[in-house]
Amino acid sequence: MDDWPIWVSAVALAVAMVLLVVAGGPFTRLVDRLADRTGIGETMAGVLLIGAVTALPGLITSILGAARGDAVFAMNNALGGIVLQTTFIALADVFYRRANLEHAAASLPNLLAPVGLSTMLAVVLAAGAGPQVTVFGVHPVSLLLVLVYWYWLRLSREVGERPMWRVEPTRLTHADEPDPEQMANGERLSSMWLRFAGLAAVVSLAGYLIGEAGLSLTERTGMSSGFVGAVITGFVTSVPELVTVLYAVRIRALHLAIGDIIGGNGFDVLFLSASDIVYREGSLYAAVNREVVLLVGLGIVLNLLVAAGLIRRQRDGIGFEGIAMFVVCGVGLAALAAVG
C-alpha cells in the first residue's frame, strides 16, 4: 500500500483514537461482568481479556512495521507503549481518591505481575546484546518470551489460589471477589462473549489504522521511525489501556485496572515475538539500538516502582512510587527525543 499523505495519517490516527475511547467504557463494564460470571477474578480478567484486546492495536502496528522491514519502529512501538501504560497506573492513582491504588489493590498476583514483566524485558535486552542466531529466520528468544509469559500466568493463578503468605487486609483494601449482583444477572454468557468479540474487532480496526498512519508519517515527515513508534503510535495504541484503567477505577474494579495495565504490557512484549516472525531480514533483536535499550530500561524501572508501591502500601495519596513514575516517564521521553 502507498504511503498516506500527512493529513490522511492525522485523520486516521484521530479516528482510531475516537474508536478506542468510545469502545473503552462498555468494554470495561463487560469484562468486569465476565470476571464475575466466569469466576476467573478481576486480575486474571484484566490480564487475559482486557490486556489481550487492548493490546491488539499495538500488535497490529508492530507487525505492520516488521513486515515492511522497519524493526526499530516495531520494537519501539511495543516498548514505548509499555512505558506509557505503566505510567497510567500512577494517573489512575490520582483519580482514585478513596486510598492509594497500590494499597487498595494489593494482592499476590498483582505483585508478581511487574516482576514477571521485568523478567521478560530483561530477556529482550539480553537478546539484543547476544549472538543473533535464528532458526527459520526467528530468534529462539521469541519462543522463550512466550514460555516466560505462560509461566508467569500459571504462577499468578497458583499464588492467587494457594498463597504462601497473605496481604494484610485493612479497611481500605478492596478484595477481588465476585459481585453478587453480577452473579445474579440473567444476561446470557454467550451473548456477553459475542459482544466481547465485536468490541475486539473494533479495536483491531483501530490498530490497522494506527499502523498504516504511523508508517506513513515516518516516510512523509522524515521523523525517526523509533521516535514515531515509541511516542506517537505508542501513545495512540495505549489509549485503550488509559480509558479502561480510568473506567475500571471509576467502577471500583481495582484489580481489573492493575491487571489490565500489567497484562497489556505482557502482551506488548510478545509483540516482539510476533514481529520477529514476520521480519524477514534476520533477527529482529539485531536492531536493538540506544532507543530500544533506553525504553527497555524505563520499562523495567517503572514496573519495579509498581512492585515497590504494592509492597510499601502507602495508605493515602498518590504515593512515592506514583510521583517517581511520572518523573521517570517524563525524563525518559525527553532523553528519547534527544537520542532519537
Yes or no: say if 313 and 85 are a contact pair by the CB < 8 Å rule: no
Mean pLDDT of 306-321: 81
**Closest Cα to residue 292, out of 126, 143, 119?**
126
Q: Pick the residue with more confidence: 156 or 221?
A: 156
Tell me the C-alpha distance between 325 and 7, whole Å: 34
pLDDT tens digit string along 144-156? 999 999 998 888 8
pLDDT at 1: 45
Per-residue burial over 273-307, b if 16 or more Cβ lie within 10 Å, else e, is bbbbbbbeeebbbbbbbebbbbbbbbbbbbbebbb
Q: How confident is the model at residue 30 (pLDDT cuts 50, 70, 90)?
A: confident
pLDDT at 261: 81
**Closest Cα to residue 55, out of 15, 27, 97, 30?**
27
Answer yes or no: is pLDDT of 283 > 80: yes
pLDDT tens digit string along 160-213? 778 777 767 776 666 655 555 555 456 777 888 888 888 778 777 776 777 677
